[in-house]
Amino acid sequence: MRFAKPRWWAAIGAVAVLAVLTGCPPTARLEVLPAAVSFGADRAEVFITLRNLGKLPAAWTMEEVVRDNADAPWRAGEVAWFAADKADGTLGTELDRLTLTADRSLLTAGNYENAGIRVAGRNFSRIVPVSISVEPTLEVVPSRISLRPGTRTASFTVRNTGGSGLAWSVRFLEPGAAPDASVPLPADMTATPNPGTTAVGGQTRVELNWTVDRGDFRILVDSPGGQAVVQVVFGAALPGLEVTPENLTLYYQNSSGSAAPSQPASKLYIKNIGATARSWNLSLSDRNNPDTAPAISATPGLGSTQPGETTEVLVRVTDPAAVTAGSGNYELAVRSGADGFLLIPVTLEVVSLPVIVASEPPNPVVDRPEVAALSTLDFGRDKFVMEFWVVNTGPLSSDLFFQVTHDDQEIATPLISSVSPLRGDTNERPGQDFFLFGTNDRVDATPVYVTVDRSVMTEDVEYRTITIEAWNQDYTARVDAVEPWTIEVRVERPPLTVEGAINRSRPPFLSKFLFLLRDTRGAAIPTQTPEDLSKIDFDVAEDGIALDWNETTRNLTGPEGIKANIVLLLDYTGSMYNAGTSDTVAPLRPGEALAQVKEAALRFLDDLPASHRVSLMYYNDRQQLNRVIFPFSTDRGALKAALRDFRISPAFHGTSAIWDAVVEAVQRLAAEDPPETLPFDDADMRAVIFITDGQDNSSVSDAGAAASTAKDNRVRLYPLGYAPKSPLNTAALIEAANTTGGHYYGAGDVRNLTALLGNRRSLVLEPAESVLPEEVSFNIVNAGGAPLAWNAALAEARPWITSVVPDSGIAPVGGSSRVTVTVNPAAAGAPPLNNVRAVLNITSGDGQGTATVRMFLGPDDVTLQDLSVTLDDEPGLVWSELRNQVVLSYVTPRQSAGNYTIRVNYTQPNGDVITGFFQEDGLFFPGDVRAGQLSMTTSGITLDPDAATVDEAVRAEAFLRADYVPRGVSQFRVRFVPQLPVDAPPAAVAAFAASFSLDAELAPDGLLVSTDAFTPAWRLVKGQDHVYTMLTEQSNYLPYGVSGNLLRLRLTGLKGYVDACNAAGVDPRVLLDMRAENQIYVRPAGPGRPSETVFFLYPSGPAAPDRPLVVGEVSDTAAAARTILDLVTFSINPEASGAWDRDEDGLPDFQDPAPDNPSLPGLLTFPSQVNVTLGPATVTVTNNRLDTFEWAVAVQSAALAGRFTVDLTGAAAVLAPGESASFKISVDKTGLPSGNYEAALLLDTDAFA
- 437: burial class by Cβ within 10 Å (0-12, 13-18, 19+)? exposed
Rounded-to-10 torsion of CA 1050, 1055, 1058, 1064:
-160
**Bridge pairing between strands 847-857 and 835-844:** antiparallel
| Beta carbons within 8 Å of 28's beta carbon, 6+ residues apart | 52, 54, 56, 57, 58, 59, 121, 122, 124
Q: How confident is the model at residue 505 (pLDDT cuts 50, 70, 90)?
A: confident
Write the pLDDT tens digit of every residue in 927-980: 898 999 999 999 899 877 666 777 777 899 999 999 889 999 999 999 999 999
Q: How confident is the model at residue 25 (pLDDT cuts 50, 70, 90)?
A: low
Mean pLDDT of 11-33: 50
Whole-number Å distance between alpha carbons of 864 and 855: 7
Whole-number Å distance between alpha carbons of 1132 and 6: 114
Whole-number Å distance between alpha carbons of 911 and 936: 43
Q: How confident is the model at residue 23 (pLDDT cuts 50, 70, 90)?
A: very low
Phi, psi (deg, nearest 5) at residue 102: -100, 145
Q: How confident is the model at residue 74 (pLDDT cuts 50, 70, 90)?
A: very high
Whole-number Å distance between alpha carbons of 602 and 594: 12
Whole-number Å distance between alpha carbons of 1201 and 1239: 9
What distance lies between CA 411 and its chain's CA centroid? 22
Of 954 and 824, the structure prediction assigns the larger pLDDT to: 824
What pLDDT, on the 0 to 100 scale, is given for residue 729?
A: 65
Whole-number Å distance between alpha carbons of 886 and 1064: 47
Write the pLDDT tens digit of every residue in 506-515: 888 888 888 8
What pLDDT, on the 0 to 100 scale, is given for residue 17?
A: 33
Provide the mean pLDDT of the chain. Answer: 87
Whole-number Å distance between alpha carbons of 350 and 271: 29
Q: Give yes or no for a contact between 158 and 204, defined as CB atoms under 8 angstroms apart.
A: yes
Question: Does residue 728 surpass a pLDDT of 70?
Answer: no
Question: Does residue 1084 surpass a pLDDT of 90?
Answer: yes
Mean pLDDT of 210-234: 91
8-22, 232-246, 1005-1019, 1147-1161: least confident range: 8-22
Whole-number Å distance between alpha carbons of 907 and 911: 6
Question: Does residue 162 surpass a pLDDT of 90?
Answer: no
Domains of the chain, with CATH numbers? 7-134 (2.60.40.10), 138-350 (2.60.40.10), 356-492 (2.60.40.10), 497-560+885-922 (2.60.40), 563-757 (3.40.50.410), 763-874 (2.60.40.10), 931-1129 (2.60.40), 1165-1245 (2.60.40)
pLDDT over 90 for what percent of the chain? 42
Of 33 and 8, the structure prediction assigns the larger pLDDT to: 33
SS3 532: helix
Whole-number Å distance between alpha carbons of 814 and 793: 23
Mean pLDDT of 998-1003: 94
Q: Give yes or no for a contact between 525 and 767, defined as CB atoms under 8 angstroms apart.
A: no
| Backbone Cα Rg of the chain | 47
Question: Does residue 18 surpass a pLDDT of 80?
Answer: no
Least Cα distance to 234 among 146, 306, 170 occurs for 146
What pLDDT, on the 0 to 100 scale, is given for residue 16?
A: 35
Write the pLDDT tens digit of every residue in 845-894: 999 999 999 998 888 888 898 899 988 898 888 998 998 998 888 878 76
Phi, psi (deg, nearest 5) at residue 250: -105, 135
Question: Does residue 13 surpass a pLDDT of 60?
Answer: no
| Beta carbons within 8 Å of 258's beta carbon, 6+ residues apart | none
What pLDDT, on the 0 to 100 scale, is given for residue 132?
A: 93
SS3 1038: coil
Phi, psi (deg, nearest 5) at residue 981: -60, 155
Question: Does residue 733 surpass a pLDDT of 90?
Answer: no
Q: How confident is the model at residue 24 (pLDDT cuts 50, 70, 90)?
A: very low
What pLDDT, on the 0 to 100 scale, is given for residue 1245?
A: 86
Q: Give yes or no for a contact between 248 and 346, defined as CB atoms under 8 angstroms apart.
A: yes
- What is the distance between the terminal CA atoms of the chain, rounded to a whole angstrom? 123
Mean pLDDT of 676-692: 85
Q: Give yes or no for a contact between 162 and 225, defined as CB atoms under 8 angstroms apart.
A: yes
Q: Give yes or no for a contact between 335 and 341, defined as CB atoms under 8 angstroms apart.
A: yes
What pLDDT, on the 0 to 100 scale, is given for residue 255?
A: 65
Mean pLDDT of 435-446: 90
Write the pLDDT tens digit of every residue in 551-596: 777 777 777 668 899 999 999 988 888 887 777 667 888 988 888 8
Of 291 and 572, the structure prediction assigns the larger pLDDT to: 572
The letter for the amino acid at 387 is E
Beta bridge partners of 38: 131
Mean pLDDT of 664-673: 92
Whole-number Å distance between alpha carbons of 86 and 39: 18
Mean pLDDT of 273-278: 92
| Beta carbons within 8 Å of 938's beta carbon, 6+ residues apart | 956, 957, 958, 959, 1072, 1109, 1111, 1115, 1116, 1117
Q: How confident is the model at residue 724 (pLDDT cuts 50, 70, 90)?
A: low
Whole-number Å distance between alpha carbons of 1131 and 1149: 17
b/e per residue 1177-1212 (b: at least 16 CB within 10 A): bebebbbbbbbbbebebebeeeebeebbeeeeeebe
What pLDDT, on the 0 to 100 scale, is given for residue 992?
A: 95
Q: Which helix (H) or strand (E) holds 13?
A: helix 7-21
Q: Give yes or no for a contact between 541 and 918, defined as CB atoms under 8 angstroms apart.
A: no
Q: How confident is the model at residue 1115 (pLDDT cuts 50, 70, 90)?
A: confident
Rounded-to-10 torsion of CA 721, 726, 729, 730:
40
What pLDDT, on the 0 to 100 scale, is given for residue 945?
A: 60
pLDDT over 70 for what percent of the chain? 95
10-19, 581-590, 786-795: least confident range: 10-19
Query: What sign for the dihedral angle of Cα 490, 494, 499, 504?
Result: negative
Phi, psi (deg, nearest 5) at residue 17: -65, -45
Whole-number Å distance between alpha carbons of 431 and 96: 60
DSSP 505-527: EETTTEEEEEEEEE-TTSPBPP-
Of 118 and 897, the structure prediction assigns the larger pLDDT to: 118
CA-to-CA dists, residue 846 to 366, 523, 737, angstroms: 60, 20, 31
68-82, 936-950, 1065-1079, 1102-1116: least confident range: 936-950
Whole-number Å distance between alpha carbons of 370 and 362: 7
